Chain A
């Protein structure tokens, strides 16, 4: 494939630059080396995640409890099914990509167009799904109590089923107060959004209901979270509780250690950004295919190069899927 670079007069001169030891074009080789460096970036993130996880090996959130939503099945506990579907969609878009590359080798413009189109659709669905996962994660489900030491205490009934904050709280209307914003307080001062309940409201509700217990972050031998006895639960909530956590952000996380949320946002966010840019590049190449650029160039190597990038994005997801959802 000598088409992309003009002949330089060195052809056949082994020691004069006319030799191609790796037998690939400049563009493809550089795409490979970019992929290597990007792979090392992702490994750095995943290794850092592994570090934090080994550091908190007996108190890490359980992924099955965090990612258990499925579209249109509200309230159904469906661990991992949706992320498995997302993985499947991304692998399938990889397949259509490689089919596009294959069609390109045979100069079949129509087929390349169809397959590129399917690839773009698959990528778009994946990014959308990722956004939906983020939404669920940020919103949270049951809510929890945070202690002085930043530990998370969750509520369960005697059967071990999770109980949400709104089922516990006894609302004290006298203590309701407005969020302090710039527009209604001192103009240079404001505070974060207030949680739906105060710690005292939860404490009051918890004391009234004898069937409630507290579940800590610490994992038992069986890999489940420790459930405290009623006395221990009461002692814990009355001495340690300082705040309410609903959902997750970079500082608080109702599912457990905030590091889990930080790594989740950062790694899936960085990957999602790759998918997004992959979709954009795919769209550009897609239009180039439609207007016949590569027909005139008489080779579809650009499709191959963007294909390499797209497969790499899929490759990274395979690892992210394993380390965030399975392991």
Chain B
């Protein structure tokens, strides 16, 4: 226990810094959500730039929560990869499959083979 406590110097400063960062990102997100600038309405890979912007900021927030608050940065490489890579790869796969399929069904509805707006 004694040796363990030795490298736990207080990192309150970093905690408050991360809190500041997360708050700023949230405020920016809400600001853009209300403002909805026209120049971000163009689409990129079937999604508006605005939405990409939100998703990227969300991932930044997720990174800081996991790395700073959950102290992932202090864990061994093995644990970090076991947790993060597993989640990331499975989620990317799942998202790809389901969103592609959802878009396909949208096209089927739009083609008018099935009437649904009545």
Q: Which residues of A contact B (CB under 8 A)?
A: 1, 3, 21-24, 29, 32-33, 35-36, 39-40, 43-44, 47-48, 50-58, 64, 79-81, 84, 87-88, 91-92, 94-95, 97-99, 101-102, 105-107, 147-149, 151, 216, 218, 223, 240, 298-299, 307-308, 311-312, 314-315, 318-319, 321-322, 325-327
Q: Which chain B positions have C-beta within 8 A of A311?
A: 65-66, 69-70
Q: Does the CB pair B4–A55 fall under 8 Å?
A: no
Q: Does the CB pair B102–A54 fall under 8 Å?
A: yes
Q: Does the CB pair A51–B75 fall under 8 Å?
A: no
User: Which size bracket describes the interface of B in this complex?
Assistant: 35 or more
Q: Does the CB pair A99–B79 fall under 8 Å?
A: no
Majority DSSP secondary structure for residues of A touching B? helix
Q: Does the CB pair B83–A105 fall under 8 Å?
A: no
A318 to B54, CA, bound (A): 11
Known contacts A43-B91, A54-B103: does B10 contact A318 (CB below 8 Å)?
A: no
Q: Which chain A positions have C-beta within 8 A of B76?
A: 21-24
Q: Does the CB pair A1–B58 fall under 8 Å?
A: no
A40 to B54, CA, bound (A): 21
Identify B26's interface contact among A51, A88, A147, A149, CB under 8 A.
A88
Identify B118's interface contact among A29, A35, A55, A148, CB under 8 A.
A148
Q: Which residues of B contact A (CB under 8 A)?
A: 1, 4-5, 8, 10-12, 15-16, 18-19, 22-23, 26-27, 29-30, 33-34, 41, 51, 54-55, 58, 61-62, 65-66, 68-71, 75-76, 78-79, 82-83, 86-87, 90-91, 94-95, 98-99, 101-103, 105-106, 109, 115-118
CB-nearest residue of chain A relative to B70? Answer: A311
Q: Which chain A positions have C-beta within 8 A of B116?
A: 149
Q: Does the CB pair B29–A326 fall under 8 Å?
A: yes
Question: Beyond the given A47-B98, A94-B69, A308-B70, could you list 8 further A-B residue pairs with CB under 8 A, ordered by the A residue number?
Answer: A32-B83, A81-B30, A88-B26, A147-B118, A315-B62, A315-B65, A322-B58, A326-B51
